[in-house]
């Protein structure tokens, strides 16, 4: 969800340049079930434009109507939405609507936090009842410092009160590093970017490609693998090796051998993986078993993928199952809560 909040901050900055005020909407509590869970957020601009969503689309019209008073008074409020009777499937939502206008200092600190792939925390103070309250709102904690998201509030009005609190620890944005520059790599880049991932593409200098060939890419690097400074230590980074060259794939593995990504995918058949690992162990017999365990080849889940687009879906699905430690299954076979 980190990428969603990054998008909200960028959207606010753009709207402010146009002279529009914005309000932040957060689902802070829930009774029953819902399409999305507490912590989901969206931004509404003064002109009625909305960024993001907190449901499948059924709650947003009511939120837009309720936001008008927040634009007028600059006072945060709690609204409720009973989807059990209106929709027949959702629960009872508690929704915080508040002015969104952080101080300038926040943007510099937040930008550095995202760039450094640091963890931050978002806390929303609220009541489980409808109304306008002076002691509700959201603040962000970065490096032990708190940043209120509305200049009309002060952090001291939150802490020490009898408010309820909803806190989220936000991990670094998930990152995918793709080694390769063919058509299938471009498709994977586009699909991963749509998922909200930060995508870096590494290409051989001999290839006449640019970032324009990779929709959604955050960075395009033209370099041989051995010349890269790879420092992958967090569990929010995956790697996909798809260069269509055995020798270059081996170079990539050698360059990665001291890193700790959560997933390394290899494109190609089983015998290619076995030959790559055999060569890798020959060159680096001391390699850590944990590194070998994170290698998946052939990459992807067995969903019958044929086209590059379908293969991209298969690879992304496998990365999600690995990072979230889930066993792939049809949801109709699952008992209990879908998201448990």
Q: pLDDT of 155-182, one tens digit each?
A: 555 665 667 899 999 999 999 999 999 9
150 vs 169: which has the higher pLDDT: 169
**Which domains does the chain possess?**
2-170 (no CATH), 175-323 (3.40.50.720)
pTM comes to 0.86
Tell me what the mean pLDDT of segment 181-188 comes to: 94
Q: Quote the CA–CA distance of 230 and 258 in Å, as a whole number.
A: 9
Give the angle 311-312-317 at the CA atoms, nearest 5°. Answer: 100
> Mean pLDDT across the stretch 308-322?
96
pLDDT, mean of residues 218-233: 87
| pLDDT above 90 for 310 | yes
Please list, residue by residue across 188-211, b when 16 or more beta carbons sit within 10 angstroms of its beta carbon and e when fewer do.
bbbbbbeeebbbbbbbbeeeebeb
What is the structure's pLDDT at 333? 82
pLDDT tens digits for range 263-299:
999 999 999 999 999 999 999 999 999 999 999 999 9
Q: Residue 130 pLDDT > 60, yes or no?
A: yes
**Count of beta carbons in the 10 Å neighbourhood of residue 110:** 18
Token couple for 152? 């009309």
What is the model's pLDDT at position 34?
Answer: 65
What residues have CB less than 8 Å from 194, skipping those under 6 apart?
216
Tens of pLDDT along 291-300?
Answer: 999 999 999 9
At residue 60, the pLDDT reads: 84
Query: Chain-wide mean pLDDT for the chain?
Result: 89
């Amino acid at each position: 969800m980190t990428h969603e909040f990054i998008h909200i901050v960028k959207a606010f900055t753009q709207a402010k340049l146009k002279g529009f005020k914005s309000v932040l909407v957060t689902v802070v509590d829930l009774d029953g079930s819902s399409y999305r869970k507490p912590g989901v957020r969206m931004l509404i601009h003064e002109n009625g434009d909305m960024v993001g969503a907190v449901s499948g689309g059924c709650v947003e019209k009511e939120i837009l109507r309720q936001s008008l008073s927040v634009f007028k008074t600059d006072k945060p409020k709690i609204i409720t939405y009973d989807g059990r009777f209106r929709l027949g499937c959702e629960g009872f939502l508690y929704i915080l609507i508040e002015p969104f206008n952080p101080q300038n200092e926040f943007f510099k600190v937040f930008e550095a936090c995202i760039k450094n792939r640091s963890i931050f925390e978002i806390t929303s103070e609220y009541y489980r009842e409808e109304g306008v309250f002076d002691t509700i709102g959201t603040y962000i904690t970065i490096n032990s410092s708190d940043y209120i998201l509305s200049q009309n509030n002060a952090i001291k009005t939150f802490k020490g009160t009898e408010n309820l609190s909803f806190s989220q620890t936000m991990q670094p944005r998930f990152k995918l590093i793709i080694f390769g520059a063919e058509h299938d790599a471009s498709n994977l880049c586009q699909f991963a970017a749509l998922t909200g991932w930060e995508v870096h593409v590494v290409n051989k200098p001999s290839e006449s490609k640019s970032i324009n060939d990779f929709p959604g890419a955050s960075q395009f690097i033209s370099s041989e693998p051995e010349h890269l400074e790879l420092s992958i230590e967090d569990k929010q980074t995956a790697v996909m090796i798809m260069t269509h060259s055995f020798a270059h794939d081996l170079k990539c593995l050698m360059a990665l051998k001291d890193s700790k990504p959560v997933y390394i995918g290899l494109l190609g058949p089983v015998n290619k993986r076995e030959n790559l690992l055999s060569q890798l162990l020959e060159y680096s017999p001391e390699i850590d078993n944990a590194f070998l365990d994170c290698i998946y080849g052939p990459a992807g889940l067995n969903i019958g993928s044929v086209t590059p687009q379908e293969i991209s879906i298969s690879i992304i699905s496998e990365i999600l199952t690995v990072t979230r430690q889930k066993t792939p299954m049809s949801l109709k076979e699952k008992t209990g809560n879908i998201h448990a």
